[in-house]
Amino acid sequence: MDIAVPKYLQQLKPYVAGKPIAEVQAQYGISSPTKLASNENPLGPSPKAIEAISKALKDIHRYPDSHCLSLRRKLATYLQIEERQIVLGNGSDEIMALIGQALLLPEEEVITPYPAFSIYEKVAVMAQARLFKVPLKELKIDLKKIREKVSSKTKLIFLTNPHNPTGSFLEKEELVVFLKNLPSSVLVVLDEAYIDFVQPQRRFNSIALLENFPNLIILRTFSKAYGLAGLRIGYGILTPELARFLETVRYPFNVNALAQIGATAALDDKDFLEKTQHTIWEGRQFLTAALTSLGVKVYPSEANFLLIYVGKKAKKIYEDLLKKGIIVRPMVSYALADYLRISIGKPEENQAFIETFKEIWQK
């Protein structure tokens, strides 16, 4: 190719998403595959969001509100924070990109657990920062090793709680100790995409930590518990000073009108949120017990998915499941080739998965 491309981009690979339903339909002739691959909400979108979006369709000739005022107000009240502490994005992954664009300089250092959500790496590479990947310890984030990697050049640390792809959880105490021992010049991005699935007795209010740790940025999304992954909307919670920098690089209409309306309605849909949580908690228990009884190693998860160890047969099991219309997530792109990640589905989907998996596993 004659076109010169930035050298630093060559180390990046395109994102590997869960296999789309349409592809399985076309490839295997299965009319309604069960998708347990992308940690989506198995119950669909919040009904209140659907209703609000349907009503708003007639207005889509208008640009969206660039400032997301109604949603911002509602979120600020709901989270008990100031409106100017919120930055809204086209999915929380856009907030990650904004952080990189607004705050990271070339040669500064970024630390991520490894494996982790691949966008963290993208953010570091795009900013020409130096990336350090700290291996998980027994598939949990190793805060001690991350702390040891911190140098005078460290600018940003990504943490995920619960972690993807393992579902492991950082307790409040360990996080606070970690933050206390960190220079205040190091930003910590705490990605809480799966926070709503944590058991209530373990969950803690990370937003309250912002008072003592202004170097903390919390990320949340409407893609998981609120069932709005297809609309693309997420947000960051941070100090007004940092938020202002992100706002300066954000494109004006990054959050589309239907996403704003859907998210605002979904926040009021307490019943749907609770139903979703119970579906995940019960499904998580059911699948953990069923897989364990088949002799499969299941990693304890506080998220809406389970990481399982299946050994060298992982690729074969994944393909055999696909042929039977069940889509799970292979973990090759997460450097966990002997593992699979199963998103928790509806009870009947979980049951179908277990029955099919059992046949394949015991073959």
Ligand X SMILES: Cc1ncc(COP(=O)(O)O)c(C=O)c1O
**Binding region for ligand X (CB under 6 A):** 39, 91-93, 117, 160, 164, 191, 193, 221, 223, 229, 234
Smallest distance from ligand X to CB 16, Å: 12
Angstrom distance (rounded) from CA 92 to CA 235: 5
Which C-beta is closer to ligand X: that of 190 or that of 296?
190
**Is there a contact between 43 and 272 (Cβ–Cβ < 8 Å)?**
yes
Smallest distance from ligand X to CB 312, Å: 26
Q: Which helix (H) or strand (E) holds 297?
A: strand 297-298
The distance from CA 101 to its chain's CA centroid, rounded to whole angstroms, is 20
Going by DSSP bridges, is the β-strand pair 297-298/305-309 parallel, antiparallel, or unpaired?
Answer: antiparallel
Q: Which residue is nearest to ligand X (CB)?
A: 91
**Is there a contact between 129 and 154 (Cβ–Cβ < 8 Å)?**
no
Angstrom distance (rounded) from CA 226 to CA 228: 6
Which C-beta is closer to ligand X: that of 64 or that of 162?
162
Smallest distance from ligand X to CB 165, Å: 8
Which C-beta is closer to ligand X: that of 234 or that of 325?
234
Smallest distance from ligand X to CB 197, Å: 12
Angstrom distance (rounded) from CA 17 to CA 29: 21
Which C-beta is closer to ligand X: that of 224 or that of 360?
224
- Tell me which residue of 148, 149, 145, 99 sits closest to 120, measured CA to CA: 99
Smallest distance from ligand X to CB 244, Å: 22
Which C-beta is closer to ligand X: that of 305 or that of 353?
305
Which C-beta is closer to ligand X: that of 39 or that of 279?
39
Which C-beta is closer to ligand X: that of 178 or that of 194?
194
Smallest distance from ligand X to CB 158, Å: 9
CA distances to 40, 205, 302 from 200, in Å: 20, 11, 10
Query: Diameter of the chain by CA atoms?
Result: 59
- Tell me which residue of 246, 267, 261 sits closest to 76, measured CA to CA: 267
Smallest distance from ligand X to CB 192, Å: 8
